[in-house]
């Protein structure tokens, strides 16, 4: 698979998205995607499948350093009060001590509520 170099980061150009995947789909599709050569898995707290993703990656036999994990912090966890705990929960569920790309998840109407524009 093609990688993109951004500063010191090497990011697999194509990520395998997991939005809408329940446990059965994750356990069927993530191992198949990893066997097919995907090395970028995209998930999010709101998808409620980080735990299953973590199990699949940990059980894949592929070194963690070879799998690029992206997850997203949900809007209710943006505040300083919730942010760190939510990221630690994602780390625990993903069975890793680091996330390669951590994003703030955007949902329609959020920017109006937070008056960021």
pLDDT tens track for 33-64: 999 999 999 999 999 999 999 999 999 999 99
Please check the confidence at residue 81 and state whether its pLDDT lies above 50: yes
As a whole number, the mean pLDDT across the chain is 92
Domain at 76, CATH number: 3.20.20.100
Angle between helices 80-93 and 50-58 (to 10 degrees): 40
Write down the pLDDT at residue 106.
82
- Active-site residue list: 47
Domain of 58? Answer: 3-114
Write down the pLDDT at residue 108.
62
Q: How many structural domains comprise the chain? A: 1
Supply the pTM of this predicted model: 0.88
Measured distance CA(62)–CA(33) in Å, rounded = 12
Across 89-95, average pLDDT: 98
Across 63-68, average pLDDT: 97
SS3 108: coil
CA-derived radius of gyration, the chain: 15
Name the band, by pLDDT with cuts 50, 70 and 90, for residue 116: very low
Write down the pLDDT at residue 107.
67
């Amino acid at each position: 698979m093609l990688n993109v170099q951004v500063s010191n980061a090497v990011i697999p150009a194509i990520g395998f998205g997991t939005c809408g995947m329940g446990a059965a789909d994750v356990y069927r599709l993530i191992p198949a995607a990893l066997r097919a050569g995907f090395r970028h898995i995209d998930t999010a707290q709101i998808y409620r499948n980080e735990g299953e993703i973590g199990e699949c990656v940990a059980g894949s036999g592929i070194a963690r350093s070879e799998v690029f994990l992206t997850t997203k912090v949900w809007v209710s966890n943006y505040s300083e009060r919730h942010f760190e705990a939510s990221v630690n929960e994602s780390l625990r569920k993903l069975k890793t001590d680091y996330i390669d790309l951590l994003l703030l998840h955007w949902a329609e109407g959020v920017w109006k509520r937070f008056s960021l524009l």
